Chain A
Amino acid sequence: MSDFQFGAHAIYTPDSEARFIERRDSVIATIKPANVIEAILTEELLHASWEMQRVRDHSNNTNAEPRLNAAHSRASRNWHRSVNQLKRLQSARASIDCELYHLAEQQVADQCPLADLNKLPKPLVIATPEVQ
């Protein structure tokens, strides 16, 4: 999906807009989502990350403390879930690339930044010298 709208409907003020855009670009550059499922989870992670930042921005507001705590818990849970899903998705993508297309580890590492390279499976198939 080429026109996925990262950061759509995010809540920011004119003062914090630049910080949000910087965070959005940094998250996308770090994760490098390669398909729509990774993009949806990256979007979840981005919003969770930004909500945790918004909670920190309002941390001096003692009247809203219970609501801020609840918001932080929700955002934190979603952040961890999204990171874990992305790790599993990118590890699976890295395994497929290694097994079927024999990509070098460096190339896989560049394309799947969250993949755990230590857990790449040994390939089940190898190329035979000649096609008959």
Chain B
Amino acid sequence: MATAAQVLANQANARHATGPRTEQGKANSSRNATTHGFTTGVLKVDAEDRPYFDDLEKSIIAQANPKGALEMDAVYEFRDAAWRLRQIRKMALQLFEQHGEDPFTNLDSAAAFNQLARYRTAAEMSLHRALNTLRDLQTIRLGRIVHLAKSENETIGPLASPHVFAFPVVDGMRMNRVARENFDEYHGVGKPT
């Protein structure tokens, strides 16, 4: 049992403990309660996983070719969800290794596995939603490009050369636009009787 003097000394000392002072220290202590990071808005990436994560991000951006802030947001949502799903599978594997039995049937790991399943459902929804949104945004962008190209004289101003839009070059070949309704006639496809 502490004496009255010790209690007073402890209280006096505690006044000096004002928590972390540096920005890094504050950032570190803000993550004290974080266990796996599946419920936080900010993604948790361990140092050992960082190179793989960076590689994944670069590949997704290179493939999706996002333009503008909205498409970038959708790409980041997709990246985060894909990463969370990977981490959730990693934790499920750890449960399996810890208990030596499939989490589907092991009762000891039931609570933890059910919690992981909930996180996983949320991450899956986020993954597919982000991909659908990115598809919609890019379809809208493509539609605008196609429609602007059809009426380039009105949309890009009287001084601009319409040939810039009307005759794009793909793989060194000059391409010409053919109206969809004229396609069958151009290619000699007979109309159904």
CA distance A31 to B144 in the complex (A): 32
Judge whether A19 is part of the interface by a CB distance below 8 angstroms.
Answer: no
Judge whether A104 is part of the interface by a CB distance below 8 angstroms.
Answer: no
Pair B55/A1 contact, Cβ less than 8 Å: yes
Contact partner of B128 (CB less than 8 A), chosen from A64, A70, A81, A128, is: A81
CA distance A74 to B89 in the complex (A): 14
CA distance A92 to B136 in the complex (A): 12
In the complex, which residue of chain A has the Cβ closest to the Cβ of B186? A126
CA distance A6 to B63 in the complex (A): 18
Q: How many A-B contacts if CB must be within 8 Å? A: 107
Judge whether A125 is part of the interface by a CB distance below 8 angstroms.
Answer: yes
- Given contacts A8-B86, A128-B176, are A68 and B55 in contact (CB under 8 A)? no
Pair B110/A67 contact, Cβ less than 8 Å: yes
Contact partner of A10 (CB less than 8 A), chosen from B93, B167, B171, B173, is: B93
- Given contacts A10-B93, A85-B128, A88-B135, are A127 and B173 in contact (CB under 8 A)? yes
Judge whether B56 is part of the interface by a CB distance below 8 angstroms.
Answer: yes
Pair B59/A1 contact, Cβ less than 8 Å: yes
Inter-chain contacts of B55 with A (CB < 8 A): 1, 3
Chain B contacts with A in 138-183, Cβ cutoff 8 A: 146, 167-178, 180, 183
Pair A124/B104 contact, Cβ less than 8 Å: no
CA distance A68 to B96 in the complex (A): 16
Contact partner of A9 (CB less than 8 A), chosen from B89, B128, B176, B178, is: B89
Pair B105/A9 contact, Cβ less than 8 Å: no
Judge whether A18 is part of the interface by a CB distance below 8 angstroms.
Answer: no
CA distance A74 to B119 in the complex (A): 12
Q: How far is the CB of B149 from chain A (nearest CB, A)?
A: 9
17 chain-A/chain-B pairs, Cβ below 8 angstroms? A10-B89, A10-B93, A37-B60, A47-B89, A54-B102, A58-B102, A67-B110, A68-B105, A74-B117, A85-B128, A85-B131, A88-B135, A101-B171, A122-B180, A125-B170, A128-B175, A131-B172
Q: Tell me the A residues contacting B by CB distance below 8 Å.
A: 1, 3, 8-11, 13, 35-37, 40-41, 44, 47, 54-55, 58, 61, 63-64, 67-68, 70-71, 74, 77-78, 81, 85, 88, 92, 100-101, 122-128, 130-132
Q: Tell me the B residues contacting A by CB distance below 8 Å.
A: 55-56, 59-60, 62-64, 78, 82, 85-86, 89-90, 92-93, 96, 102-105, 110, 117, 120-121, 124, 127-128, 131, 135, 146, 167-178, 180, 183, 186
